[in-house]
Amino acid sequence: MNSKRDIVLTEVALRDGSHAVRHQFTVDQVKSIAKGLDDANVPYIEVSHGDGLGGSSMQYGLSLTNEMELIEAAVAEVKQAKIAVLLIPGIGTMPQLKEAAGLGVKMARVATHVTEADVSAQHIAYAKELGLETVGFLMMSHMASPKKLLEQAKLMESYGADTVYVVDSAGALLPHQVKERIALLKEHLTANIGFHAHNNLSLAMANTLAAMEAGATRIDGSIRCLGAGAGNTQTEVAVAVLDKMNIHTGIDLYKIMDVAEDLVAPILETPQEITRGSLVLGYAGVYSSFYLHAQKAAERFGIDSRSILIELGKREVVGGQEDMIMDVAAELSKRKAEVAV
């Protein structure tokens, strides 16, 4: 690795972490955290609803604050960092992407299910037209074979993606599986290769290192592990580990530790840790943002949230099918009542 910044990190707490705080970020919180991250020299900061642009809805969770206000606030606070947004075609729209670009966003991360890269073509092309750095984000990558993943990654590259990410949305991949996937993409793509982890099986850091060893040069982190499920690769930990490995990120270790402790920790509703619920997410291979939805359904129907998540995993439910959570909970509750009789 000979570039000025050996590994480029995108901070996702102000997007992925939206799930963990039920999409209740305030303008002041985004301002203070974005400023702190910028001062620590974090190169990219992702800001949006947990499900990306347009995600605020009854199905995905209503935001406390309009996401464009949060994006505008973050852009105003940073001096060197670039603000990024996530867009899932079918949830976010091209007009919303144009509005975000007009507010000063510099990167668009266009996300699809791992077997549905073809739906990203227009959005990636439009992001390029807007002058944005573009990222293809292949979610739930554990649900496709390495060969299928490569096929989909090639599509995103052909549409104009500057970087293609292997996204472990469920935190279900094991290190050797990450290595295999990243190495295959590295061999066959000219685009940058990135990796986004979740910590549901306590493997986020290990998987990130495996990805880097196999050739990934872009990684994601969430400060104080603020992300869906058990969170992502913990940013301040990643910076410390990479520093010990003499891998350059350009991020100030002391400052990023201070942001985690002083700015992010106070807004956490509960500490980000691996609970029985988040552990089941990784075990069953279920989208990490389903966790809070499953808890709500479990309370409503008086059943164990783990049973809901396991059943969702068996049905291979993916992001965008959040409405299935209540349906599955109702069905399991009915079965339970029939057995009791």
CATH number at residue 12: 3.20.20.70
What is the number of domains present in the chain?
2
What pLDDT is attached to residue 67?
Answer: 96
Per-residue model confidence (pLDDT) at position 341:
61
Are residues 97 and 146 both part of a single domain? yes
The predicted model scores a pTM of 0.92
Closest CA to 101 of 117, 113, 84, 89: 84
Q: Residue 111, SS3?
A: strand
In this structure, are 45 and 185 located in the same domain? yes
Domain boundary among 216, 232, 267: 267
Q: Which domain holds residue 222?
A: 8-267
181 touches 217 (CB < 8 A)? no
Q: What is the pLDDT of residue 2?
A: 38
Which pLDDT score, from 0 to 100, does residue 289 have?
84
Give the active site residues. 19
CA distances from 268 to 98, 122, 196, 303 (A): 32, 37, 21, 26
> Is 16 annotated among the ligand-binding residues?
yes
Question: Looking at the structure, do residues 148 and 220 belong to the same domain, yes or no?
Answer: yes
Q: Please tell me the distance from the alpha carbon of residue 273 to that of residue 296, in angstroms, as a whole number.
A: 19
Q: Running along the chain, 341 residues long, what does each successive block of 10 average in pLDDT?
A: 70 96 96 98 97 90 95 98 97 97 98 97 98 98 97 98 97 98 98 98 98 98 96 98 96 98 94 91 91 91 93 86 90 85 61
On whether both 311 and 238 belong to a single domain, the answer is no
In the DSSP assignment, the letter for residue 214 is T
Q: Does the annotation list 60 as a binding residue?
A: no
CA distance 121 to 87: 12
Q: Are residues 28 and 148 in the same domain?
A: yes
Q: Is 15 annotated as a binding residue?
A: yes
The radius of gyration computed from the CA coordinates of the chain, to the nearest angstrom, equals 19
Residue 318: closest CA among 282, 281, 275, 286: 286
313 and 259 within one domain: no
Tokens 């299935």 correspond to: 324
The pLDDT of residue 170 is 95
- Please check if 323 is assigned to a binding site: no
**288 annotated as a binding-site residue:** no
Write the CATH number for 327.
Answer: 1.10.8.60
pLDDT of 339: 77
Same-domain pairing of 262 and 321: no
